[in-house]
């Protein structure tokens, strides 16, 4: 193939930066310059009023953030429990109606979530699940489990049968095989599925609003009224927190995972 110079590659990166990184940069500027107005291309004056507001309202913000963080992690956990054994069965066993069942099981992530969530709302109210964290986690898990399911099925498929056979031949029982052999090897797939589930749950506004009814604090719920307000600076700062928290979380998980693997001599 004909070698091309570096210019097209730099161009690619430039386009990516303008499309995807520039918005984040602008958010930083908006956050630090509440008085930034048309037609200035660069803010005339920077101030920390946005950050000051953040500090004075820190209790409320931290509560919302902690609540979002908690129900999103719980959703990851619930989807994991829901999907582990079915994913193993789907990856390894043949049975009648498997393709149809798989297609059916993936629909909750495809059809508009409103269509089943609003129907369930009445029942959740009757069962006193509405306006509770449990209700929020349930509805989020129902909407996000297909991502976990897909990731785990793929994980089981790449895992193959060899490890299992090997452990069996060495005398391990099914429980030991599952906990000591397969589960550790599935961690990358769990993290892949779990990060999607976490992100979708963490950034969802409507389902949390519907089932949480305002009594379950959420970061999206806290942010929403501010986005439409005239105080753009504050909304920008909070949006940046939204960006930083998942990135931070992934770095922590990635780091600890690498350390564990190294300790066990797997990497």
Partner 1 sequence: MFWAPSRTAILILKLSPLILPFVVLFCGGVFLTVCQSLGIFTPLPHTGGILAAYGVILSDPSFLGSFGFSLGVALVSAAASVAAGTFLAYRVWQLPKALAGAALVYKIPLILPHIAVAFVVLIFWSRSGILSSLAWHLGLIQSMPDFPNVLYSGWGLGMILAYTLKGTPFAMLLILALLVRFDVRQIQTAAMLGASKRRIFFSIVLPRLAPAMHTSFIILFLYSFGAFDIPYILSESRPGMLSLNVYNLYFKHDLARRPEAMAILTLMLFFAVVFIIAYSRTVTRLENGVRKL
- In angstroms, the Cα distances linking 87 to 41, 92, 98, 146 are 52, 9, 12, 10
| Residues present in the chain in total | 267
- In the chain, which residue ranges form alpha helices assigned H by DSSP? 7-16, 22-32, 49-56, 58-92, 98-110, 113-126, 133-159, 162-169, 174-176, 183-203, 206-212, 219-228, 232-263
| Sites for partner 1 among residues 74-103 (CB under 8 A) | 81-86, 88-89, 93, 95, 101
Least Å distance, CB 173 to partner 1, is: 16
Q: By CB under 8 A, how many residues form the interface with partner 1?
A: 77
Least Å distance, CB 91 to partner 1, is: 11
Q: Which is nearer to partner 1, 117 or 167 (CB)?
A: 117
Contact in structure between 142 and 200 (CB atoms under 8 Å): no
User: Is 120 an interacting residue with respect to partner 1 (CB under 8 A)?
Assistant: yes
Least Å distance, CB 265 to partner 1, is: 26
Let me know if 137 is exposed, middle or buried by CB neighbors in 10 A (0-12, 13-18, 19+).
buried
Span near partner 1 by CB under 8 A; candidates 7-15, 53-61, 160-168, 257-265: 7-15
x/- map, 16-55, partner 1, by CB under 8 A: xx-xxx-xx-xx--x------xxxxx--------------
| Sites for partner 1 among residues 125-144 (CB under 8 A) | 138, 141-142
User: Is 7 an interacting residue with respect to partner 1 (CB under 8 A)?
Assistant: no
Span near partner 1 by CB under 8 A; candidates 48-56, 109-117, 178-186, 253-261: 109-117
Contact in structure between 54 and 234 (CB atoms under 8 Å): yes
DSSP string, 87-104: HHHHHH---TTHHHHHHH
| Sites for partner 1 among residues 232-251 (CB under 8 A) | 232, 235-236, 239, 242-243, 246-247
Q: Which is nearer to partner 1, 214 or 260 (CB)?
A: 214
Span near partner 1 by CB under 8 A; candidates 10-18, 49-57, 58-66, 255-263: 10-18
Let me know if 241 is exposed, middle or buried by CB neighbors in 10 A (0-12, 13-18, 19+).
middle
| Sites for partner 1 among residues 175-234 (CB under 8 A) | 199, 202-206, 220, 223-224, 227-228, 232
Least Å distance, CB 229 to partner 1, is: 11
Task: Collect all residues with Cβ–Cβ distance below 8 Å to 123 and sequence separation of at least 6.
Answer: 129
Contact in structure between 29 and 36 (CB atoms under 8 Å): yes
């Amino acid at each position: 193939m004909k070698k091309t110079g570096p210019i097209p590659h730099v161009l690619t990166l430039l386009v990516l930066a303008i499309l995807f990184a520039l918005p984040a940069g602008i958010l930083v500027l908006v956050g630090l310059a509440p008085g930034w107005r048309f037609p200035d291309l660069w803010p005339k004056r920077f101030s920390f009023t946005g950050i000051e507001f953040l500090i004075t309202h820190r209790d409320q913000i931290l509560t919302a953030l902690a609540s979002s963080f908690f129900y999103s992690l719980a959703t990851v956990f619930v989807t994991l429990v829901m999907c582990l054994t079915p994913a193993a069965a789907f990856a390894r066993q043949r049975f009648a109606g498997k393709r149809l069942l798989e297609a059916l099981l993936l629909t909750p992530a495809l059809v508009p979530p409103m269509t089943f969530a609003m129907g369930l709302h009445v029942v959740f109210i009757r069962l006193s699940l509405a306006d509770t964290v449990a209700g929020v986690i349930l509805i989020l898990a129902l909407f996000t489990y297909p991502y976990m399911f897909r990731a785990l099925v793929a994980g089981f498929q790449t895992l193959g049968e060899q490890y299992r056979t090997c452990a069996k031949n060495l005398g391990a029982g099914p429980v030991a095989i599952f906990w000591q052999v397969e589960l550790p090897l599935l961690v990358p797939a769990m993290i892949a599925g779990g990060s999607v589930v976490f992100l979708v749950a963490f950034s969802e506004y409507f389902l949390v609003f519907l089932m949480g009814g305002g009594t379950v604090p959420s970061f999206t719920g806290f942010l929403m009224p501010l986005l439409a307000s005239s105080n753009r600076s504050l909304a920008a700062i909070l949006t940046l927190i939204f960006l930083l928290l998942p990135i931070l979380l992934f770095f922590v998980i990635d780091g600890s995972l690498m350390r564990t693997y190294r300790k066990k001599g797997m990497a």
